[in-house]
Amino acid sequence: MTASAWLEVLDETLDACRSHGREDLVQRLRRRRDRPPGATRVAVLGFPKQGKGYLVNAVLNAPVCAVGDAATPAVPVEIGYSAEPAATLVGRGNERVPVPVEKLTGELGARPPGSLRRVEVGVPRELLSAGLVLVDTPAIGDPRSPRTAAALDVLADADAVVLVSDATTPLSEAEVALAHHVRTWCPHVVVALTKIDVCASWRAVAERDRALLAGAGIDSPVLPVSATVRMAAAKAGDQDLNSRSGFPPLLTWIAEQAARPPEHTSAVLAALSVRAATAELVETLRARAELAGQDAGVDQTTLLHRAQRKADELRKRNTRWQNLLADEIGDLQSDAEYDLRERTRKIVETIDETFDKGDPVKVWDEFGPWLDKTLAEAVETNYNFTADRAEWIAQAVAAAFGAQYDLHDLRLGESGAELIADVRQPRIEGFKIGQKLFTGLRGSYGGVLMFGLVTSLAGLPLINPVSLGAGAAFAAKTISDEGGMRLQRRQAVAKMTAQRHVDDVFLRFSKECRDAIRSVQRKLRDHFTGLAEELADQLARERETIIAGSAERERRMVKLRREIERLAGLHQRAGELGVLAGRAPRELPA
Amino acid sequence: MTEDVRGLLAEAGGLYRDSPRAAASLHEAFNHLDEPLRVGITGAPGTGKSTLAAALGETRSLRDLTLVDDPSASVLTDATVRLLRHLEPDELASTHPAARSAFARQTAVDTVLVLARADETGAGRIDALLTAKQLARRAWREDPLCSGAQGVIAVAAQLAYGARAFTDDEFELLAAFAAVPREELERYLLSVDAFTDPAFPGPVSVDTRRSLVSRFGLFGVKLALTLIRTGSDSRVKLSTELVRRSGLGELRDTVAGCFAARAEALKARTAVVRLETVLQNEPRPGSDRLEARVERFAATAHDFTELRLIADIRGGRTALSGEPADEAVRLLGAQGTTPEERLGLDFETDPREVYAAGADAVLRWRHEAERQDRPPAERAAAHVVVRSAEGVLALFA
């Protein structure tokens, strides 16, 4: 396989990571791409207090790392070959400060946190002479801490990883998860089981760890080691003891990593990194697609159903309120007319009674005002009654239309005011019925319609014969005064005039009343028809939005799916390149 | 104090008669006031809870309390010994559960942290216990996550448990090993595997060696051999020395001084925490009056103030140190709450002498409390000591 082939795939993946805002992945891939050729880097990774420092020191047979209760550095320590022991602090801005190896721990402690990028240590060790670099990392801990980030960052240019876990307890869930993560980024991982010198049950723990790793699909060997025994062996120059420390297999494994042809390693690492990055991207995209799909699945149907239900409801309501309005107006029409007819009939009866017996000349002064007042009362009561009923109808129709519409929307009152302006004043000459009264009446009618008096509706009697009995009193007072033809004629004329006046008022008024009612009907009809149309429009728009939204979502889904397919393609190609490079990376669950 | 709490609980019981859950909870707390203090031993799996419970349980000075190994959440406990594998921030953070109530937070004097398996510190070197002790001390003084604890103590429970119950045979065996020249034995003490190797010189069987190492741990065996070589030449001497070094003694003293001696206060606290939980979960008319009484109770309970100040002084969170610090914690009752114990006198001391010593302590600490050149926090601490010393005098009134 050529370098250009994997470079191409790597660059394409880099772009994809950038376009999805995964700067962390971009950084890692870039470090993979730009990694200097030659050196093989083996990272040592693990949770705190697992014996990482002791392990590195024992591997090198040199006290390079701080151990025990000494504070371990928060930055990676890269240990490579040099003929003389040397240490260099590399700062944030890549400035390099050489320090004596034996003062390294103290120097590290004196630096403010966050000022260093890494530490480079050189030791004259055979193991490192072929270009092997051991990288001791800060302990993995809180996933949000910068130490953990720094440790995991080392993965980006590690060729192999030694995971350190002690034999006091089997791998924890977090350790297995870490192993899994490391394995997706790095093809060669070994688990070093430390402290086997003090743990009597280390064999059982090693078995348990192997089972845990196999269960998680991680093909890493578990190598039990004891740094204490290895140190003692080195001190005594005891080969047998050294083999008991468990270190020889670990050193062989590390040497194997260094022995691999570098270009081969680069290709495999590139392939694996691309696969790890695309797998992570696909996972997030898939989660997003799933979420969007759920949204679409649930909301789409629900929204459309809801819109449909609303339209049906509106249709039903339209029939309901229209029927109600027609029925109620018809009823009101006949009731109002009957009421007025009854009231005027009673008045006419009283007129007849009065002038059957009484002399118009004598009683007129009293009779005139009485008729004015009685008629006015009758008409006003009838108006009130009609207005109240109209108001009530408006309420009922509003309720039938839907609870959300109240009478404030109706503005019924205006219609009444317009209407009464056309009423002509009755002209009954000689009877002096004041126009003042009708003006007042007009005002009250308008007021009634304007503001409504719904509450009085229930107790309102159809006929309210206020002072209708007054006629009898007039009659009694005037009956004896006159007799004969003149009296009869006067009585007939008076009766006629009064009756005609009453009829006149009745006719006029019932006409106005009918008109008023019809006007109310029209107003209500227009008002609610308008509202219904508005609602129907609104529903239609809602439906359109839902349908348009679903199209948009569909479009986005297609885009997401296409992106996932593209990434899966990259993943596939990286796999093929890996196979070409001679080692098939394990299938990743992407 | 207990009577106050009984009154509170009785009144609350009346208020919650119609709620079976609340009533049962209050009833349990009420009954528990007459039971021994209950100390829970908690910690993650593999920290050695049962071993520590067994080792602590056999201590004579802790007869009056019940140790509960890994209590479930429903079990009522008054105090907690919490075992940690490491003093790492992640693990320490898990020891800070969201306190259930304001009162519980305000009077949080019920926890001792234990750095467990101290013998495994620093790759099991011979100075492991010392290193662990330093780590614990440093964490208690410097780590804010440890500030609420009555103590942070490194304990090697397995070693302590084994050492408390030494058999003569075991001692003889260890003494025999100790008699072998060090250089000869050294390579067999490198690891458990080497110690139980069939090639081990001498007539002792593999099984015997395995049982020895499983009882004391490899570190324990190595430490025992070193101690025998340096003078602990009898079973009792060796046992005492191992127990002392294991940290169990310090833990026992802390549990005795901060928990057992304050049993009444801690049980009252448990009951009041229960009561406050009930009041919070099921508020009803009349419960606000009880809440106010709970608040008053928390404010006036001098025991909690004393315990908090003891922890602060010992954890190095005050300006007091050296002899004044020792006297302060003693007066506060860290070594026992009788007048003699507080004043550091023998139990047979003439009462008049006790009174005189008490009066002297009051005068001296009152002077400390009123010195204008001291920061307010220091004067406030001295005031608490004065109040404790006055409490001693009050017993003579």
B123/A195 Cβ within 8 A: yes
What does the alpha-carbon distance between residue A381 and residue B357 come to, in Å, rounded to a whole number?
Answer: 103
A232 contact residues in B (CB cutoff 8 A)? 186-187, 190
- Arithmetic mean of pLDDT over chain B: 87
* Whether pLDDT at B160 is above 50: yes
**Range of weakest confidence among A58-62, A500-504, A525-529, B355-359:** A500-504
The pLDDT of residue B251 is 93
* Whether pLDDT at B102 is above 80: no
A48/B123 Cβ within 8 A: no
The pLDDT of residue A416 is 34
Minimum Cα–Cα distance from A200: chain B residue: B192
CB B116, CB B83: distance < 8 Å = yes
**Range of weakest confidence among A299-303, A384-388, A543-547:** A299-303
B167 contact A CB<8A: no
Burial B146-158 (b: 16+ CB within 10 A, else e): bebbbbbbbbbbb
| Confidence band of A59 (pLDDT split at 50, 70, 90) | very high
Select the highest-mean-pLDDT range: A207-216, A264-273, A562-571.
Answer: A207-216
A167 contact B CB<8A: no
What does the alpha-carbon distance between residue A420 and residue A446 come to, in Å, rounded to a whole number?
Answer: 7
Considering only CA atoms, which of B265, B266, B269, B263 is closest in space to residue B9? B269
The pLDDT of residue A221 is 95
Measure A230 CA to nearest chain B CA, in Å. 10
Minimum Cα–Cα distance from A233: chain B residue: B187
B190 contact A CB<8A: yes
Interval B335-346 mean pLDDT: 90
CA A115 to chain centre: 42
Burial of A254 (0-12, 13-18, 19+ CB in 10 A): buried
Model confidence pLDDT, tens digit, residues B6-43: 988 888 888 888 888 888 999 999 999 999 999 999 98
| Confidence band of A288 (pLDDT split at 50, 70, 90) | confident
A296 contact B CB<8A: no
B190/A195 Cβ within 8 A: no
Backbone angles phi, psi at A440, to 5 degrees: -60, -40
Angle, helices A360-401/A484-580, rounded to nearest 10 degrees: 10
- Structure-model confidence comparison of residues A35 and B73, the more confident one: B73
Restricting to A residues 438-467, those with a Cβ less than 8 Å away from any Cβ of B are none
Q: Give me the helices (H) in B77-205, please.
A: 89-93, 102-106, 128-142, 157-164, 168-179, 182-186, 192-195
- Structure-model confidence comparison of residues A230 and A265, the more confident one: A230
Best of A72, A147, A198 to substitute, by most chain B Cβ atoms within 10 angstroms, is A198
Helix (H, G, I), strand (E, B) or coil at B299: helix
* Whether pLDDT at A258 is above 80: yes
A244 contact residues in B (CB cutoff 8 A)? 191, 193-194
What does the alpha-carbon distance between residue B14 and residue A478 come to, in Å, rounded to a whole number?
Answer: 88
Interval A269-273 mean pLDDT: 79
* Whether pLDDT at B255 is above 60: yes
| Confidence band of B60 (pLDDT split at 50, 70, 90) | low
The pLDDT of residue A455 is 27
Measure A146 CA to nearest chain B CA, in Å. 14
B121/A198 Cβ within 8 A: no
A199 contact B CB<8A: yes
Q: Give me the helices (H) in A358-407, please.
A: 360-401
Best of A69, A164, A196 to substitute, by most chain B Cβ atoms within 10 angstroms, is A69
What does the alpha-carbon distance between residue B336 and residue B342 come to, in Å, rounded to a whole number?
Answer: 6
- Structure-model confidence comparison of residues A473 and B199, the more confident one: B199
Restricting to A residues 39-58, those with a Cβ less than 8 Å away from any Cβ of B are 48-49, 51, 54
First to last CA, chain B: 19
The one-letter code for the residue type at B85 is R
Considering only CA atoms, which of A525, A520, A392, A514 is closest in space to residue A457? A392
B122 contact A CB<8A: yes
Q: What percent of chain B has pLDDT over 70?
A: 97
Q: Which residue in this structure is represented by tokens 């696969």?
A: A275
Select the highest-mean-pLDDT range: A193-197, A335-339, A414-418.
Answer: A193-197
Measure A54 CA to nearest chain B CA, in Å. 8
Burial of A302 (0-12, 13-18, 19+ CB in 10 A): exposed
The pLDDT of residue A299 is 64
The pLDDT of residue A579 is 67
A195/B124 Cβ within 8 A: yes
The pLDDT of residue A430 is 31
Helix (H, G, I), strand (E, B) or coil at A78: strand
B121/A69 Cβ within 8 A: yes
* Whether pLDDT at A326 is above 70: yes
Minimum Cα–Cα distance from B219: chain A residue: A198
CB A446, CB A414: distance < 8 Å = no
A142/B90 Cβ within 8 A: yes
The pLDDT of residue A580 is 66
A198 → closest Cβ in B46, B192, B214: B192
| Confidence band of A253 (pLDDT split at 50, 70, 90) | very high
Measure B34 CA to nearest chain A CA, in Å. 41
The pLDDT of residue A403 is 53
Measure B143 CA to nearest chain A CA, in Å. 14
* Whether pLDDT at B336 is above 90: no
Interval A579-583 mean pLDDT: 60
Give the number of other CB atoms < 10 A from CB of residue B367: 11
- Distant-in-sequence, close-in-space partners of A561: CB < 8 Å, separation ≥ 6: A289
A238 contact B CB<8A: yes
Measured on CA atoms in the order B201, B202, B204, B205, is the torsion positive or negative? positive
Burial of A105 (0-12, 13-18, 19+ CB in 10 A): middle
B193 contact residues in A (CB cutoff 8 A)? 196-197, 244
The pLDDT of residue A413 is 41
B86/A241 Cβ within 8 A: no
Model confidence pLDDT, tens digit, residues A454-493: 323 333 333 333 333 444 444 444 444 445 666 777 777 7
Query: What is chain A's alpha carbon radius of gyration, rounded to the nearest angstrom?
Result: 51
**CA angle A124-A129-A134, nearest 5°?**
85
Measure A51 CA to nearest chain B CA, in Å. 7
* Whether pLDDT at B100 is above 80: no
The pLDDT of residue B248 is 92
DSSP notation for A490-545: HHHHHHHHHHHHHHHHHHHHHHHHHHHHHHHHHHHHHHHHHHHHHHHHHHHHHHHH
**Range of weakest confidence among A302-306, A531-535, B137-141, B146-150:** A302-306
In DSSP terms, A89 is beta-bridged to A97, A119
A241 contact B CB<8A: yes
What does the alpha-carbon distance between residue A246 and residue A250 come to, in Å, rounded to a whole number?
Answer: 7
The tokens for A72 are 């371990």
A232/B190 Cβ within 8 A: yes
Distances, alpha carbon A182 to alpha carbons A135, A207, A525, in Å: 15, 21, 75
Interval B168-181 mean pLDDT: 90
What does the alpha-carbon distance between residue B146 and residue B124 come to, in Å, rounded to a whole number?
Answer: 25
Give the number of other CB atoms < 10 A from CB of residue B284: 12
B210 contact residues in A (CB cutoff 8 A)? 200
A228 contact residues in B (CB cutoff 8 A)? 123-124, 190-191
Model confidence pLDDT, tens digit, residues A127-143: 888 888 999 988 888 77
B135/A195 Cβ within 8 A: no
Model confidence pLDDT, tens digit, residues B114-141: 999 888 887 667 788 888 899 899 888 8
In DSSP terms, A133 is beta-bridged to A41
The pLDDT of residue A249 is 96
Q: Which residue in this structure is represented by tokens 């994997």?
A: A6
Interval A376-381 mean pLDDT: 76
- Structure-model confidence comparison of residues B222 and A263, the more confident one: B222
The pLDDT of residue A199 is 87
Measured on CA atoms in the order B265, B271, B277, B278, is the torsion positive or negative? negative
What does the alpha-carbon distance between residue B72 and residue A172 come to, in Å, rounded to a whole number?
Answer: 23
- Structure-model confidence comparison of residues A330 and A145, the more confident one: A330
What does the alpha-carbon distance between residue A274 and residue A568 come to, in Å, rounded to a whole number?
Answer: 11
Backbone angles phi, psi at B105, to 5 degrees: -65, -45
A246 contact B CB<8A: no
The pLDDT of residue B246 is 92
Model confidence pLDDT, tens digit, residues A388-437: 777 778 778 877 777 555 554 443 443 332 333 222 333 333 333 333 33
B225 contact A CB<8A: no
A226/B120 Cβ within 8 A: no
* Whether pLDDT at B166 is above 90: no
* Whether pLDDT at A353 is above 90: no
A227 contact residues in B (CB cutoff 8 A)? 123
CB B259, CB B65: distance < 8 Å = yes
Q: Give me the helices (H) in A87-187, please.
A: 104-110, 146-153, 173-185
Interval B224-231 mean pLDDT: 92
Minimum Cα–Cα distance from B214: chain A residue: A200
**Count of residues making up chain B:** 397
Q: Which helix (H) or strand (E) holds B154?
A: strand B152-154
Give the number of other CB atoms < 10 A from CB of residue B14: 11
B192/A199 Cβ within 8 A: yes
The pLDDT of residue A295 is 62
- Arithmetic mean of pLDDT over chain A: 76
Q: Which helix (H) or strand (E) holds A122?
A: strand A116-123
CB A141, CB B89: distance < 8 Å = yes
